[in-house]
Amino acid sequence: MTGRPATPPRLRVLAVDDEPPALDELLYLLRNDPRVEYVHSAADAAEALRVLHENDVDVAFLDIRMPGLDGMDLARVLQRFARSPAVVFVTAYDDRAADAFDLGVVDYVRKPVRAERIAESLRRVLSERAAVEDRPAAPPEATPAGGDPMIPVELGGVVRLLPRSSVCWVEAQGDYARLHTTDGSHLVRVSLTQLEERWTDAGFLRIHRSYLVRLDLVTELRLTGSGYVVSVGGHQLPVARRHTRVLKDRLIRPAKQHWG
């Protein structure tokens, strides 16, 4: 007896646009695609963040030019989520395409939107998700004679060995981790918790549920209105309150003792 065919995955979608007619048209097209499970909507970035706080979303369709935070700003915020949704820009302008793809968006759709073009965007989202899920789990790092473990990362079918010493900080992305280096980033199939356990003795410290940093590359610890942030490799990363004391003990106390 043959088993039932696997149910195709369906997507949870957020559509964001400050122009009601454009938003209504986008919602209509998304809701009529069988690959979409349900669609949330928002008229600006602030409302979008409230929706995302309460709901899991697989992909966000964002207008770029909006009051307050624009679509580019919102996409950068979404990248900081522990489970960041895929992003598709839907815009009347083509002058931001290069910036958009620098952010790693899945697609860039020109208005007025058409059913076949939205269908292609959804196909790309599902294809990218399937490619990530099909990647083999990252094996333990190989440690060469020099003592610097090598991490196998895959890009375009080519496996590259990345030295752990090149990693500045790590960002959680669901069951995956994104390794940030001075010249780019790489997604590996290993959880942040697993890397925390493996790399603590190598000078990496968990500062947030979504971030693991290499302590010797931290150049600044600063108090802001929303809490502490650290600067690592030119990026500012938030420090969760429950990790602040350990971070100060590991970062500041040794420096004071050295200079004292």
Q: What is the DSSP string of 158-173?
A: EEEEEEGGGEEEEEEE
Q: For residue 198, what are the contacts with CB-CB under 8 A and spacing of at least 6?
A: 141
Q: Give the residue from 14, 22, 84, 10 showing the smallest Cα distance to 42.
A: 14
Sign of CA pseudo-dihedral 37, 42, 43, 45: negative
**Window from 103-107, 132-136, 171-175 with minimum mean pLDDT:** 132-136
Residue 192: pLDDT above 70? yes
Residue 5: pLDDT above 80? no
Q: What is the predicted pLDDT for the residue at 1?
A: 44
Q: What percent of the chain has pLDDT over 90?
A: 47
CA 149 to chain centre: 25
Residue 70: pLDDT above 70? yes
pLDDT tens string 11-28: 999 999 999 999 999 999
Q: pTM for the full model?
A: 0.53
- 3-state secondary structure at position 9: coil
Q: Quick check: 86 and 106 in contact, CB under 8 A? A: yes
- Tokens describing residue 202: 């190598």
H/E segment holding residue 21: helix 20-31
Strands 218-224 and 227-232: antiparallel
| DSSP label of 200 | G
- Tokens describing residue 174: 């669901």
Mean of the per-residue pLDDT values of the chain:
85
H/E segment holding residue 247: helix 241-259
